[in-house]
Amino acid sequence: MTSTAFTVVRESCSGITTHLRWFSSAAALVTRENRTEALMDRYEKCPARLQQVETLYQRFLLHLEDVPMESFPKERRDQVHEDYVQIMDMADDIAQRAREVLALRAGVPPTRAPLKTPVGLLTKLPSLDLPRFDGRLDKWMGFIGLFESLVDSREDLGPSQKLAYLLSVLDGEARGFVQHLPICDGSYEVARSLLTKRYHNQRCLADAHIDQIMDLPIVSNAPQLRTELLNPLLIATNALNRLGLPVAQWSYLLLRIVLKRLPVSMRTRFEQEHARDEASPLPTFDQLLTFLENECRTGDVMVAVAPVGPSSPRPTNQRRTAQTTPKGKASPRFAVAQAARPDCRFCKSQGHRTAQCQVFVALHVSSRRRIAKARGWCFSCLGDHYQRACPDTHPCPICGGQHLKVPTLK
């Protein structure tokens, strides 16, 4: 680490914090009808301020790789990124309110600003099944690989069209980095550069995917095997391979790590299939992957082929259940089955609901609010309904408001 790099990073961080206070003060004027003149004065100064913020942020990204993690920890790095995104969000709010004021003064009806994602442009482009990316490092390698294959490599698309596709699949922090860019040819390379500098950090990516392997859960049954263990394992090892790390040389190490995550019955079947004498070589990680894939396929077949026989409920029982169950209500047995499989609408994982998602809760409050608003979630419970229709009537114990009660992070 050079002292110059640390000084630049620290000064850039301090400068962005100063601008954040200025924009927070300006954004507080948006809802105050009696402070319109003060808001317009701040609005005129916004472009120069945004240029200074952009310069500071680019310097911060440029020198951050030369500063070790112990000198500038991850929490402070993430906070700078969140401050930058928050500044851009507040600048958008200030600009929208200023446009409404100017429209009223000109005697014309105020109009809402167009969406940052160019919906009109996208409707004229071919429909592509693209992955989404919200800023999670463990998702970056898979996302950028598919995006480059499906969009960036296409010669029939211009830069502005590629930017339209890019903006349409970004969420959360990742979208905040580039949502201020105008839709034009020159902005595409700028957007790619911003995202690459933020997320394509080899050290951070390697750490994220190794942690993904080390944090694999202990599965207790076959249905959990694919979603909770095999898929994350393949994503992590493929990403580490793309980063140029010697994954093939870690074969037996990976084998031992994964075997400890399997139930005893499954581990016994693997050992029986690959029993070795003292002169035989060690079982390989590829053999374990093949075994796990076969186990998953067997589980899929067992679920798909439901047993029909004497143990199955008689038709009369089915009719009786249909008659005694109120219309629109699930039977108790079905309700229990549903409750056992909660689904997170943010990280798409099984085992927890969105309100208990550690990834979602860890985001800045402004990011959580923006994501919930964009996806039409209830602010109280993150359900798929309006807040006024939310069954959760318990107010926040701190402020008395109706909003998400964030659990304590572990």
Average pLDDT of the chain is 75
Whether the per-residue pLDDT at 320 is higher than 80: the answer is no
Whether the per-residue pLDDT at 252 is higher than 70: the answer is yes
The least confident of 57-66, 193-202, 331-340 is 331-340
Instruction: Give bridge partners of residue 170 from the DSSP assignment.
Output: 133
Q: What is the pLDDT of residues 140-195, one digit of tens each?
A: 888 888 888 888 888 888 888 888 888 888 888 888 878 777 777 788 888 888 88
C-alpha angle 370/374/375, rounded to 5°?
A: 120
pLDDT band at 31 (very low <50, low <70, confident <90, very high): confident
Query: Higher confidence at residue 78 or residue 402?
Result: 78
The phi, psi pair for 108, rounded to 5°, reads -115, 150
Q: What is the pLDDT of residues 333-386, one digit of tens each?
A: 333 333 334 467 776 666 777 777 777 776 766 667 777 776 777 777 777 666
Check: CB of residue 166 under 8 Å from CB of residue 178.
Answer: yes
Whether the per-residue pLDDT at 229 is higher than 70: the answer is yes
The phi, psi pair for 271, rounded to 5°, reads -65, -35
pLDDT band at 95 (very low <50, low <70, confident <90, very high): confident
pLDDT of res. 177 = 78
pLDDT (mean) for 323-340 = 40
Domain ranges within the chain, ordered by starting residue = 3-105, 119-200, 204-273+283-302, 341-410
Residue type, 171: D
Instruction: Give bridge partners of residue 133 from the DSSP assignment.
Output: 170
Residue 59 CA neighbour count, 13 Å, CB half? 19
Per cent of the chain over pLDDT 90 is 4
Q: What is the pLDDT of residues 269-314, one digit of tens each?
A: 888 887 665 556 788 888 888 888 888 887 766 655 555 444 444 4
C-alpha angle 169/170/176, rounded to 5°?
A: 155
pLDDT of res. 22 = 92
pLDDT of res. 304 = 53
Whether the per-residue pLDDT at 232 is higher than 50: the answer is yes
Residues 6+ apart with CB under 8 A from 245: 206
Query: Torsion angle of alpha carbons 267, 269, 274, 276, nearest 10°?
Result: 80
pLDDT band at 402 (very low <50, low <70, confident <90, very high): low
The phi, psi pair for 134, rounded to 5°, reads -115, 10
Q: Exposure of 259 by Cβ count < 10 A (0-12 exposed, 13-18 middle, 19+ buried)? A: middle
What are the C-alpha distances in Å from 192 to residues 240, 298, 405? 21, 42, 36
Per cent of the chain over pLDDT 70 is 72
pLDDT (mean) for 1-22 = 85
pLDDT band at 326 (very low <50, low <70, confident <90, very high): very low
pLDDT of res. 265 = 85
Please, which contacts does 197-200 make with residues 24 or more away whose CB atoms are closer than 8 Å?
197/61, 197/62, 198/61, 198/81, 198/174, 199/135, 199/137, 199/140, 199/144, 199/174, 200/140, 200/144
pLDDT of res. 364 = 66
Whether the per-residue pLDDT at 23 is higher than 50: the answer is yes
Whether the per-residue pLDDT at 410 is higher than 70: the answer is no
Residues 6+ apart with CB under 8 A from 20: 83, 86, 87
pLDDT band at 196 (very low <50, low <70, confident <90, very high): confident
Instruction: Give bridge partners of residue 343 from the DSSP assignment.
Output: 350
Check: CB of residue 163 under 8 Å from CB of residue 188.
Answer: yes
The least confident of 62-71, 253-262, 344-353 is 344-353
pLDDT of res. 15 = 92
